[in-house]
Structure 1
Amino acid sequence: MGPLVIALVSGLLLILAYVTYGRWLGRRVFELDPGAVCPSKKLNDGVDFVPTPTPVVFGHHFTSIAGTGPIVGPAIAVMWGWLPALIWILVGSIFIGAVHDFGSLVVSIRNRGQSVGEVAGRVIAPRVRLLFLLVLFMALTIVLAIFGLVIAAVFKTYPAAIAPCLLQIPMAILIGVWLRRGGRNLLFPSILVLALMYVSVIFGDTGMLMGFNAQLASQSMMWWVIALLAYSAVASVLPVGLLLQPRDYINSLQLISAMILVVLGLIVASAIGGAPVAGERPALELIAPVVDWSPANAPPMLPFLFIVIACGAISGFHCLVSSGTTSKQLNAEPAARCVGYGAMLTEGFLATIVTLACVAGLGLGIASETGTTLLGADAWNARYGQWMGDKSLAYKVGAFVDGAANFLKTLGIPSGIAVALMGVLVASFAATTLDTACRLQRYVVQELANTIARPNGSPSAVASIVQPFRGRLGATILAITVATLMAAMPLPGQAWGWDNAGKGGLILWPMFGATNQLLGGLAFMVIAFYLKRRDKPVWFLIAPLIFMLILPAWAMIQQLGGWWNAESPNWILIIVAISTLLLEAWMIAEAASVWWSLPRGGGLTTPQLDSA
């Protein structure tokens, strides 16, 4: 099966799923109501709750859930072969990931835009609320740390991406001002901003900007992490329509247009071969093994394939976006299918394209360390000779950047611009996830502080301690401080120092995968309780729920053994892993005791459960 056939069949399957399974979920299971008043309208505060046109909400949601997840995950997981990765992406996104995102969004908009953690206390049991919020806090801390490190690594590897990414901020603010002043026609500003973004990529590493990029790229990993988290802190407290929404929207335009260009390049490469190398066009072919059960130094495919590929198949982080920011912006219930189910399927297609870039596009030619051009299997072996060597995440992400750039070069796009465009794409989408994650963590910290503080207002030492974190500023400061400390971990066995701070933080990726996927299983549990209490069908959730509770715990236990027995144990990861597993077990026990005691029809924990 050729790369082009894989892309076309995958796209058709995803479209078919949207118009069949997605429609059934919307009409028969969730019963979306066009006349319902969404939280964005009823609770409109101009900051977090803002009714927004569906295309803008889709852009925010898509770019926030995508980030670098559907890029990094497949770029690593193809080491086990392209077929297992592709099957998990398609089956996972259609039957697990999109259902998870869609369900989380509907549950939230029917509960005043509250997070899944908040809703868990209402549909399962009050104690579960605190347990879920603690899991969310740990998961989001890891998300903030790892994505800050990933962006820093991309900027240091691809300096040409720095200026275009920074220029996106003022462009996003201009779009935000346009919308806030009543601008409703998005066609003209969308075309203008998209054109400006491509101009910034073409000229973003020339003249004075080249020196500017080089100077910033020379900064340490920790310098970048601090700068990026500081930016995300500012973005998280600004009105959502001023920076977050428009930045995500224009990034979605960039991603969709870039995907179109990559697919066009894939078509051309399939027809006539890649860009000429030494006067000849290399043939496009699958250079990765179909299945490889034991890559060098890699963990076992089961369960780690399903952990490494998170975004693009299913990601627990998506339930936080659905119930944290998107549900506060959606202006009509029927739009939930497009935004919740449709955006996840689009991400599944992105993950498919990433897979093809790594297992086929890479073979069209990459530069070796000696300056020669490597083709076919030689190119594959140069990037995938071992699991995660000293080049770590940035090296595997580079496989996608170079492979996708090869597709663009078949269209006549110069090599430097093609690589810069893909580098900007990776960094931009990691940044959108960082923005959203910081805002989500602020919500979680505030909910935790409100939960821990005594509701009757009586004085207590605990209430005094958590009081500063009930506000937006205090919650945000706590969120970025904890994430910065986690990201600052040095390499195992080395003392902390400014030069090596952050280098060890990249080992957070496996922990991110396991915690992230476990969160997806817990969100399925909340959705299942919500439906059962209304006597709605839950059979289609049972297999995904069990699957997403067992596999992440299995992977985390395996990693825990490795960290525990290491020559220099990483106690931060050990503590986080043990705490997460204990919280999961506690939540499952609480849920099981409630599930079997529910009467037919379920009953409600509060009379206003569905109040918007």
Structure 2
Amino acid sequence: MITFLAAIITLVLSYFFYGKFIERFFGANNNVKTPVVRLEDGVDFIPMPSWKMFTIQFLNIAGLGPIFGAILGAMYGPIAYIWIVFGCIFMGAVHDYFSGMLSIRNDGASLPEIVGKYLGSGIQNFIRLFTILLLIFVGVAFVTGPAGLLKDLTGGGLNWWLYGIFAYYLLATLLPINKIIGKIYPIFGAALLLMAISIAGIMIYKSFNGSLQLNEISILQLKNLHVNPSQNILYPMMFIVISCGAISGFHSTQSPMMARCMKKESYGRPVFFGAMIAEGIVAIIWATAAMNFFGDTYALNDTLTSGHNPAWVVNEICNTWLGKIGAIFAIIGVIACPITTGDTAFRSARLTIADIFKYKQSSIQSRLIVSIPLFVIGFLLSQLDFSTIWKYLGLSNQILSMVMLWTAAMYLAKEGKNHFYLSIPAVFMTAICFTYLFVAPYKNGGLAITPEIGYILGLGIALGIYLLFHFKSRKTSTINTEQVPVK
């Protein structure tokens, strides 16, 4: 239990100390007029209190991510703790904070527009297409999963559930953000947190009464415990499997929604940094539950390779440890929360497209013109096999996080600030993404080359990109210096 509690305490303390440091380092200033103060439109720019934005942001970025990802990541063993804790603090929370605050400083702009400002139009055009595709795939992934579960529970037809969920998606995408998202998201966000806290409480209680002994991290267990290590290489595949809870580029597509509702820049730390820390805590709880509910990591691997999936694990843990209340939590966790993540994915896609074409979204007609094609594409993709869609989400997430980290690093360089707080994580994520592309099996989207060669190529590309960044950032600094008049 020491490992579990130490991980939770470390994450909580990081919000108060490292989060405060990052806030001061960025220079959050309540004297700056935020976008909602200047551009309130009654649709997307609507002021909200910080507590409500926290719960919405948390649900937007979480959903199934820190649950399913943590369960699958737990198959690698207790080493997952290290990635979740340190990844969440020094990468994920900083990534989310800068993606939100840079949006605030740029009129609530979507990710591709921020990328274009700091990294140039070439990467901007790529990220525009990449982001829209990712958001559509996220929306589709989080409609097909719940629709399939609802079909199994009710015996109804899959397409009818798809129609129903897509109809809800359309409403949530079109209506002002305070009509559906602002009203029901805080409830589901609180439920998701309460479910995790309840599971944590049960584990602590059972540890004290001796009915459950939580496995502790040790030197002997700091290795790949996956049942199939040759196909599930610890580095880099665990860092892709566990994205939500550590770092996820999808979050940078969600932060602008709350950036458009934030009345004060000081709200950024609880909403952006804080929501990510909360997600890391949820990931730690579910990784611990998965590693210990069946006995140990080896038993978890046996369970998941014998035909069961993470949704079954969630249902089994909730029903066994929490009884009837657990059954309700399980439904919320595997059906309601994914749906709420999917609708904001489509909403973000609408906002991203509108930003690209500078197309005002004040009228319902303009929102329909952007939304209808998105939902047509989404419905067509929903006919694909779920595993085909899900396979590429993890890598896409981390590629987007890599781009966001480089964007924030360039912002700091242009501001004359120490960019290493962002550029070092950016180098790490670049190495992860390219190494994955080289060494992952074909079925997971990789080239399946020899790992040792893949490691060298991945690290070499990461360092090469850093050198390019260093050259461009120094050139930018020189230009900015030359433009300052000499007194």
Q: Same fold (TM over 0.5)?
A: yes
Q: Residue type of the partner of 2:389?
A: L
Q: CA deviation at 1:112?
A: 0.2
Q: Residue 384 of structure 1 aligns with which residue?
A: 301
Q: What's 1:577 paired with?
A: none
Query: Which runs of 5 or more residues in structure 2 are unaligned?
Result: 448-461
Distance change >3 Å, CA 525–CA 119, structure 1 → 2: same
Q: Which amino acid aligns with 2:283?
A: A
Counterparts of residues 86-485 of structure 1 (less than 5 Å): 86-156=81-151, 159=153, 214-215=154-155, 218-220=156-158, 222-273=159-210, 282-286=211-215, 290=221, 291-296=223-228, 298-323=231-256, 325-360=257-292, 362-363=293-294, 376=295, 381=299, 384-385=301-302, 391=308, 395-408=309-322, 415-450=323-358, 471-485=366-380
User: Across the two proteins, how many residue pairs are aligned to each other?
Assistant: 461
Q: Which of 563, 583, 597 lines up with 2:475 in the alignment? A: 597
Kept in 2: contact 1:115–1:320 (CA 8 A): yes
Work out which of the residue numbers 9, 21, 46 in structure 2 matches 1:50: 46
**Which amino acid letter does the alignment assign opposite residue 75 of structure 1?**
I
2:37 corresponds to: 41
Query: Does residue 1 of structure 2 align to residue 68 of structure 1?
Result: no
| Cα distance, 1:450–1:588 mapped onto 2, change above 3 Å | farther
* Distance in 1 separating the partners of 2:84 and 2:117: 33
Q: How much has 1:330 moved relative to structure 2?
A: 1.1
Aligned residues of 1:525 and 1:545 also touching (Cα < 8 A):
yes
Q: 1:406 to 1:285 in 2, by over 3 A?
A: farther
Aligned equivalent of 1:84, options 64, 70, 79? 79
Q: In the superposition, relative to structure 1, how do residues 285 and 333 fare at CA in structure 2: closer, same or farther (>3 Å)?
A: closer
Query: Is the partner of 1:47 in helix, strand or coil?
Result: coil
State the AA in 1 paired with 2:372. Answer: I
Q: Is the 8 A contact 1:92 1:313 kept in 2?
A: yes
Q: Deviation of residue 477 (structure 1)? A: 1.6
**How far apart, in 2, do the equivalents of 1:474 and 1:119 lie?**
24
Query: Is the 2:88–2:246 contact (alpha carbons within 8 Å) kept by the matching residues of 1?
Result: yes
Question: SS where residue 109 of structure 2 aligns?
Answer: coil
The structure whose residues are more often helix, as a share, is: 2
Indicate the residue corresponding to 1:539 in structure 2. Answer: 420
User: For residue 457 of structure 1, what is the aligned residue in structure 2?
Assistant: none
Match of 1:455 in 2: none
Under a length normalisation based on structure 1, what TM-score does the superposition of the two structures give?
A: 0.69
CA RMSD of aligned residues (A): 3.2
Aligned to 1:26: 23
Alignment of 1:573-592 (within 5 A): none
Greater mean alpha carbon deviation, residues 232-241 or residues 249-258: 249-258
Percent pairwise identity: 26
Q: How far is the alpha carbon of 1:470 from its aligned partner?
A: 10
Q: Which residue of 514, 517, 523 corresponds with 2:395?
A: 514
Matched, 1:16 2:13: yes
**Change in 2 beyond 3 A, CA 1:416/1:287:** farther
- The corresponding residue for 1:182 is none
Q: Distance in 2 between matches of 1:473 and 1:590?
A: 42
User: TM-score by structure 2 length?
Assistant: 0.86
Unaligned stretches of 5+ residues in structure 1: 160-213, 274-281, 364-375, 409-414, 452-468, 490-503, 567-583, 606-612
Shift of 1:406: 3.3
